[in-house]
Amino acid sequence: MPIDAATNERTTYNEIAQQSVDIALSLAHIGVKKGDMVAICSPNRKEYIAIGFGTLLIGAVLVNVNGTCTGLSLLHRLKSAKCKVLFCPSSKYQENKDSIETFTEVETTIVLDGPVEGATHFKDFLSQHASVEDFEPTPVSGCEDVAIVLFSSGTTGMPKGVQYTHYNFLCSAMDPSIRLEEGAVVLGSIDWSNSYGIITLFSYLQGGATVVSSVNPDAKEILEITQEYKIEIIPTLPTVIAAINAVKDIVKYDTSSLRKIFVCGTICNESVLDTFKERIPSVQSASQYYGMTEVGCICNSISSKLGHRAGSVGGVRNIFVVKIVDVQTREPLGPNQRGEICCKSPSMLRGETPIHDQHWAFIVTSVSLNGPSDGYIGGNVDYMDEEGFFKTGDLGYYDEDHYVYVVDRIKDIIKYNSCTVSPSELEAVLLQHPSVHEVGVVGAPHEDLQELPTAFVVLRPGARATEQELKDFFDKNVAHNVMQLAGGVRFIDQLPRGVGLKVDRKKLRSML
C-alpha cells in the first residue's frame, strides 16, 4: 500500500491495478501505441506508480525524467527520446510551455494537479475504463522491446538515455537480495526518476511492501516520518545518512521500528555507517549497494555468504560476472590488486537513446552499443571490451573472499608527484573529524607536481575548525605519506552536486 507522507493519502494495490488499466486504455485512446515514448517529469507522488504500470501495460516506453529538470536540461531529455506524451505538474508545464510545444515531438501534455490552459488535466485524461479482469496487456518481446529509459548522470557531457528492455529491468527489479516480507514499511524518498529509485520501488511493490513516499525530505523530516509511520527500511544515500548523524536531538524521535538501511549512489564511509548504527541502535544492518544506471546493481552486502565486511560493497550478485583489469594493459588482476571494475550481466543496458538535431544550439554525442546506427553522431566511445564486459570507469579490487571494494572513479583519481591518489580515501579521513559535515577533494593543477590534492569542507552547523587544525588532523590519521592535502583546505557553505546527489567534482575544480 503506497502512502503519501505529505497528505496521509493511502492507495491499495487493487486501486493501483485499476488505475493502471485505466491509464493504459486512456493512453491508447489518445493514440499511444506499442513502442511510443511516454515521459514523466515529476517528484515522487502516488500517480507516478500507476502511470509507470499503465505505460508498460500497452507496450509503450516509460521515459523517466528527473523532476527538477527544466529549460534545456528538460528539453534535451524529451527531444532525445522523441517523447509523444508528457506527464508533469502544472508548474513544470507553465515554466516550459513554449519550449515543449516548439522544440519537442510532445503531442500531449498531461498535468497532474491544477488544470492549466494548453494542457490536459489528469482527471480529464482518464476517460477510459475496464475491469482489471477483462483487460489484456499488449504482448511484448521481453529481450527485445524497450520498457524504460533512464538518464545517466551526464558526467562526460549531456545525460544519455539508457534503454532497459523488459527482461533487463526484471533482472534488476526482482533481485532476491532486496526482496522484503509482505507488509514491510519502506521509506520511498529516493527520486523514482533515477535507476536506484525506480528499481527499489518496483522491487518493493512486487513484494507487497507499504511504501511511504516523500519528496526530498530533510534529515528531521525523515525522522518524523519514521516515527509516524513506523518505517522499518530506508533505502538512501550517504549524504542523507551523514545529515541524520548531524541531528543533535535525535533521541526525541521514536526510531525503534527502523531495522535496515540500504545505501547506494556513492560509497559511504564506514565510520558514517557506524555512527548511524550507534545513534539508532535498532538498526540491525546497514548494507552498501554498488551499481550504475547502465547495468543495475552489481554488488551488495547481502550477496556475500560471510555477511557485511567493513569498507566493502559486498559480493557480486549471482547474475553478474565481474573482473578487475589493469587500467593500462587491460590484463586481468588477482586479489587485492587495483584496476578497473568490468562486468557482464543480462541486466545490462540494451543501448543508448540517439539524438541528432541540427536545430539545437549544442551537439550531443551518444553511442550505440549494438554497432553503428543512423542518428548517432560523434566518435566511437568504447564502453565494452573485447570479451563483452562493460567498463564501469571505477577503480577497485576484490579480496581473497571475493568481497569487492570500490576506490574511486578513474577519471577523478589525482596525479600527485607521480603517485595516484584517491579523493575518496582523503575524504574518508577528514570525515572523521567531529566538525566536518561534508568534504570533496579534487586536484589543483600544478606545474611541477601535476595536481595538488585540495579539500573543500562544509562544517557542521555551529562547529568551528581552522585549516591548520584539519591539516594536522589529516596528517595524524593518514596511512602513508603519499596522502597529503598539498593544496590545502577551503571552507564552503555546501558542496555542488549533480544527478543522484553525487559531488560535482567538475564544479569544484572550476572553483579552483
The phi and psi torsions of 424 (rounded to 5 degrees) equal -60, -35
Which pLDDT does position 456 carry in this prediction?
Answer: 96
Average pLDDT over residues 172-201: 80
Average pLDDT over residues 449-478: 89
Task: Tell me which DSSP letter residue 455 carries.
Answer: E
| 342-373 pLDDT per residue, tens | 998 877 765 544 433 333 222 222 223 333 33
pLDDT band at 155 (very low <50, low <70, confident <90, very high): very low
Residue 63 pLDDT > 90, yes or no?
A: yes
- What architecture does CATH give domain 413-511? 2-Layer Sandwich (3.30)
Q: If you average pLDDT over each of 1-5, 85-89, 242-246, which comes out highest?
A: 85-89
Residue 417 pLDDT > 80, yes or no?
A: no
Nearest to 173 by CA among 213, 217, 130, 203: 203
Average pLDDT over residues 131-158: 83
Of residues 115 and 24, the one with the higher pLDDT is: 24
Q: Where are the domains of the chain?
A: 3-139, 413-511
Which pLDDT does position 300 carry in this prediction?
Answer: 83
**Element (DSSP H or E) covering residue 436:** strand 436-446
DSSP calls for 66-83: -TT--HHHHHHHHHHHT-
Residue 374 pLDDT > 70, yes or no?
A: no
Which pLDDT does position 360 carry in this prediction?
Answer: 29
Contact 421, 414 (CB under 8 A): yes
Q: Distance between CA atoms of 512 and 508, rounded to whole angstroms?
A: 7
Domain 3-139 has CATH 3.40.50.2300: no
Nearest to 390 by CA among 367, 369, 409, 365: 369
Name the residue type at position 180. L
To the nearest 10 degrees (0 to 180), the angle between helices 423-430 and 467-477 is 110
For 376, the grid coordinates are 548517432
Name the residue type at position 400. E
Q: Whole-prediction pTM value? A: 0.76
Residue 3 pLDDT > 50, yes or no?
A: yes
For 58, the grid coordinates are 500497452
Which pLDDT does position 424 carry in this prediction?
Answer: 83
Average pLDDT over residues 425-453: 87
Residue 429 pLDDT > 80, yes or no?
A: yes
Residue 275 pLDDT > 80, yes or no?
A: yes
Q: What proportion of the chain, given as a percentage, has pLDDT over 70?
A: 89
Average pLDDT over residues 273-282: 90
Q: Coil, helix or strand for 368? A: coil
The mean pLDDT value of the chain amounts to 84
Which pLDDT does position 362 carry in this prediction?
Answer: 25
